[in-house]
Structure 1
Amino acid sequence: MEEKKLELVDFVVNTRKYKTLLTIKYANRKPYKVPNPNEIMSYIPGTVIKLKKKKGAKVKEGEVILILEAMKMMNKVLMPFNGKIKKIYVEEGQKVPKGHLMIEIE
């Protein structure tokens, strides 16, 4: 990853203009990506215990898609809206990090 140079940036508070120096950590941060509602990502690191639905299955809002074990708790991952499962990127027993794409919906 390319390191960015330190730079002074302007900001305004109550009509007063200030300058501040951005830190290297801030300059090299991961850019924000708008979440795609058709992608179900892992919200915490854990292990996929059970896949409840298969590719191509029509699923209604609120149905359990898979169970993710994290910190000795079984977390049910629910379908956010009515749709069809386009692709499954995980397998039972697989460990996934936070932010990992698990299921794609169409």
Structure 2
Amino acid sequence: MENREEYKILNINSTQYKTKLSRKFENRTPFKPADPFMVKSFIPGTVVDILVKEGQELKHGDVVIILDAMKMQNRLKTHVDGCVKKINVKRGDKVTKGAVLLEMEKDISSASGESEGA
């Protein structure tokens, strides 16, 4: 005799499927979106160059760090406009996948610095 409570009904493209969910699936951690203000290493490697300084204003897509991995130099870019809050690495550091290399914050000083040089 089967226990109906163990089965779940999934509706995918108007088709119903009856399935059991594994204990591993039911106990998984929920998805957490990446923080766009954190520049992370997507692969283990060595920091070759840091192209920014703390406090520097950045635009979306600016290259901030060059990471050497698998005999290739990878250019890590920003995902948002902002200001460099903290640099967590230095040249020559070996980093793991997912390591936070650079932290950014929303730029709140851009309005005060635009009139300089006029």
Q: Aligned partners of 1:11 and 1:45: how far apart in 2?
A: 38
Superposed CA offset, 1:31-68 (max 9, x none)? 31112211112122211111111211223444321111
The number of equivalent residue pairs is: 100
TM-score, structure 2 as length reference: 0.67
Show the counterpart of 2:86: 87
Aligned 1:26-105 pairs, distance under 5 A? 26-105=25-104
Show the counterpart of 2:10: 11
Structure (1 or 2) with the larger CA radius of gyration: 2
* Backbone CA RMSD of aligned residues: 2.3
Q: Aligned partners of 1:60 and 1:14: how far apart in 2?
A: 40
Q: Aligned partners of 1:81 and 1:32: how far apart in 2?
A: 21
Residue type matched to 2:56 in 1?
A: A
Q: Aligned partners of 1:102 and 1:52: how far apart in 2?
A: 12
Structure 1: which 5+ runs fail to align? 1-6
User: Which protein has the bigger helix share?
Assistant: 2
Give the SS at the match of 1:80: coil
Q: Percent identity?
A: 42
TM-score, structure 1 as length reference: 0.73
Structure 2: which 5+ runs fail to align? 1-5, 106-118
Superposed CA offset, 1:61-104 (max 9, x none)? 44321111111101111233432101112222222222222111
Distance 1:62 1:13, change over 3 A: closer
Give the SS at the match of 2:30: coil
